[in-house]
C-alpha cells in the first residue's frame, strides 16, 4: 500500500505540476478504507488548490454519479462562473486597448469614463474581442461558448444581457432551470443532459485554463456504490444504487477513461472502498469493461506502482 501523503506528493509531482497543467489528462482510482479515505480526499483537494486548480468534489452518496449530467451539475455548483466571466472580460478589454485600472468589475460605463471615450465605440471593440476569444474558441462546445460569452456580456453591463437571462444561465449550468424559454434570447435551446453533458464537462477545464487556472481537478467518491442493501428508512441518507445504477456509474467512469485523448487540463481522482476489488457482485468483477482498463493483473504484492491507474491507499505503518 501507499500512504496518503506519499501518493498525494507523487500525484502533484508527476501529474498536477508539469503534465495536466500543460494539456494532459489523468484518471486515477484510489482504493482506501473509511479510516483513510477522508484524510486522503482532503489532502488531494488541498494539493489541487495549492497547484492552481479549481477543485470540485462529487460524492456518490449525495450525487447520482450514474448520470453524467448530474456530475456536471455538481461540479458546476462549485464553480464561480461570474468570477471567470470577469477574468475573461478583463483580458479582452486589455487586448482591445482598455486595460481595467482598478480591481472593480470593468463595466462599459466605468471604462468609458476612465478613458474618456464613447461607450458605444468601446463596447464595440471589447465585444469584438470577446467574440474572437470565446465564440471562435472551438476547444469548447458551442452551447458552452454561447453561455460563457453571455456571462461576460452580463458582467460588462452593456444591456445585452438582462438580469433574468443572467440568472437563467447560471441555473442552466447548475441543472436548476425550469423553463428553457428563459434562454431563447441567448440562443440556447437545449438542457444539459446525457447527450451533451460530457462535452460541457470537457469544455470547462479549457475555460478555466484560459482564465488563469491550471485546470480542473475532480475528486469523485464512489464508496456508496459498494452498499448493496439499503438501511431502514429512518436511517437512510442520500443516494443508494441498484445493480443497474451501479453498472451505469461504472460506464460513466469507463467513458471518462476512454476520453483522456480528447480531454485536456483535467485530473479525475476516484476514491473507492476496498470492496471495489473484492465484492464480486458490486465490485469491478461486475463490469469487465471498467476492470480491463484499470485493474493490475500482475503486480508486486509488497509494493504498489504509483503510476498505475489503480492504487491502494493505506496508513504508512501498513507497509511491509
Per-residue 3-state assignment (H helix, E strand, C coil) for the chain? CECHHHHHHHHHHHHHCCCHHHCCEEEEEEECCHHHHHHHHHHHHHHHHHCCEEEEEEECCCCCCCCHHHHHHHHHHCCCHHHHHHHHHHHHHHHCCCCCCCCCCCCHHHHHHHHCCCHHHHHHHHHHHHHHHHHCCCCCCHHHHHHHHHHHHHHHCCCCCCHHHHHHHHHHHHCCCCCHHHHHHHCCCCCCCCCCHHHHHHHHHHHHHHCCCCEEEEEEECHHHHCCCCCCHHHCCCCCCCHHHHHHHHHHHHHHHHCCCCCCCEEEEEEECCHHHHCCCCCHHHCHHHHHHHCCCCCCCCCCCCCCCEEEECCHHHCC
User: Cell numbers of 5, please?
Assistant: 501523503
- Mean pLDDT in the chain? 93
Last residue of a domain, one of 123, 153, 186: 186
**Domain assignment of residue 192, yes or no:** no
Q: Which of 159, 186, 213 is the last residue of a domain?
A: 186
CATH of the domain at 55: 3.40.50.300
Model confidence at 96: pLDDT above 60: yes
pLDDT greater than 60 at residue 62: yes
Looking at the fold, whether 121 and 230 belong to one and the same domain comes out as no
Phi/psi class of residue 168: alpha, beta or left (left: φ > 0; alpha: ψ in -120 to 50)? Answer: alpha
316: confidence class by pLDDT, cuts 50, 70, 90: low
Do 227 and 172 share a structural domain? no
What pLDDT does 276 receive? 95
Residue 20 maps to a domain: yes
- Tell me if 72 is assigned to some domain: no
Q: Are 153 and 82 a contacting pair, CB within 8 Å? A: no
Cα 107 to Cα 124: distance, rounded to the nearest angstrom: 13
Task: Label residue 305 by pLDDT band (50, 70, 90).
Answer: confident
Closest CA to 20 of 9, 32, 12: 12
Q: What is the pLDDT of residue 319?
A: 42
Return the higher-pLDDT residue of 202 and 236. 202
Q: Are residues 163 and 225 in the same domain?
A: no
pLDDT, tens digit (0-9, with 9 covering 90-100), for 1-53: 899 999 999 999 999 999 999 999 999 999 999 999 999 999 999 999 999 99
Statement to judge: residues 216 and 274 lie in one domain: yes
Domain finish residue from 186, 217, 248 = 186
Residue 74 lies in a domain: no
* Residues 212 and 174 occupy one common structural domain: no
Q: Tens of pLDDT along 253-267?
A: 999 999 999 899 999
Full domain range(s) for residue 209: 4-67+199-318
Interaxial angle between packed helices 197-210 and 81-95, expressed in degrees from 0 to 180 and rounded to the nearest 10: 50
pLDDT in tens, 269-293: 999 999 999 999 999 999 999 999 9
Q: Are residues 234 and 178 part of one domain? A: no
* Confidence (pLDDT) at 229: 84
Query: 230 and 90: one domain?
Result: no
pLDDT tens digit sequence for 73-94? 999 999 999 999 999 999 999 9
The pLDDT of residue 232 is above 90: no
- Is 206 in the same domain as 174? no
pLDDT of residue 318: 41
Confidence of residue 233 (pLDDT cuts 50, 70, 90): confident
- Which pTM was predicted? 0.93
Structure confidence at residue 101 as a pLDDT band (50, 70, 90): confident
Do 219 and 144 belong together in one domain?
Answer: no
Q: 12-21, 103-112, 216-225: which has the minimum mean pLDDT?
A: 103-112
Shared domain for 166 and 238, answered yes or no, is: no
pLDDT, position 27: 97
* 204 and 312 assigned to the same domain: yes
Q: Is residue 10 part of a domain?
A: yes
* In-domain check, residue 269: yes
Q: How many domains does the chain have?
A: 2
Asked whether residue 61 is domain-assigned, the answer is yes
- Do 59 and 135 fall into the same domain? no
pLDDT at position 224? 96
Amino acid at each position: 500500500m501507499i500512504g496518503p501523503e506519499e501518493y498525494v506528493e507523487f500525484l502533484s509531482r508527476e501529474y498536477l505540476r508539469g503534465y495536466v497543467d500543460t494539456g494532459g489528462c489523468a484518471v486515477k482510482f484510489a482504493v482506501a478504507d473509511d479510516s483513510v479515505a477522508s484524510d486522503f480526499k482532503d489532502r488531494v483537494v488541498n494539493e489541487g488548490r495549492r497547484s492552481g486548480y479549481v477543485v470540485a468534489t462529487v460524492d456518490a452518496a449525495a450525487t447520482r454519479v450514474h448520470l453524467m449530467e448530474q456530475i456536471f451539475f455538481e461540479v458546476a455548483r462549485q464553480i464561480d462562473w461570474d468570477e471567470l466571466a470577469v477574468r475573461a472580460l478583463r483580458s479582452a478589454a486589455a487586448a482591445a486597448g482598455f486595460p481595467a485600472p482598478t480591481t472593480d468589475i470593468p463595466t462599459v460605463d466605468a471604462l468609458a469614463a476612465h478613458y474618456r471615450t464613447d461607450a458605444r465605440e468601446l463596447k464595440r471593440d471589447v465585444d469584438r474581442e470577446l467574440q474572437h476569444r470565446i465564440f471562435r474558441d472551438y476547444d469548447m462546445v458551442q452551447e458552452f461558448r454561447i453561455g460563457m460569452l453571455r456571462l461576460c456580456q452580463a458582467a460588462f453591463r452593456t444591456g445585452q444581457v438582462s438580469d433574468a437571462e443572467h440568472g437563467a444561465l447560471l441555473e442552466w449550468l447548475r441543472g436548476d432551470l425550469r423553463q428553457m424559454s428563459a434562454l431563447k434570447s441567448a440562443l440556447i435551446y437545449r438542457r444539459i443532459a446525457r447527450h451533451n453533458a460530457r462535452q460541457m464537462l470537457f469544455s470547462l477545464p479549457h475555460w478555466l485554463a484560459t482564465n488563469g487556472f491550471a485546470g480542473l481537478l475532480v475528486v469523485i467518491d464512489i464508496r456508496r456504490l459498494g452498499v448493496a442493501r439499503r438501511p431502514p428508512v429512518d436511517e437512510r441518507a442520500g443516494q443508494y444504487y441498484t445493480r443497474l445504477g451501479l453498472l451505469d456509474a461504472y460506464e460513466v467512469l469507463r467513458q471518462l477513461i476512454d476520453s483522456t485523448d480528447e480531454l485536456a487540463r483535467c485530473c479525475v481522482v476516484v476514491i473507492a472502498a476496498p470492496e471495489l476489488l473484492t465484492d464480486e457482485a458490486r465490485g469491478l468483477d461486475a463490469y469487465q469493461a471498467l476492470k480491463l482498463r484499470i485493474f493490475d493483473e500482475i503486480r508486486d504484492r509488497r509494493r504498489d506502482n504509483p503510476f498505475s491507474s489503480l492504487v491502494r491507499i493505506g496508513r504508512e505503518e501498513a507497509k511491509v
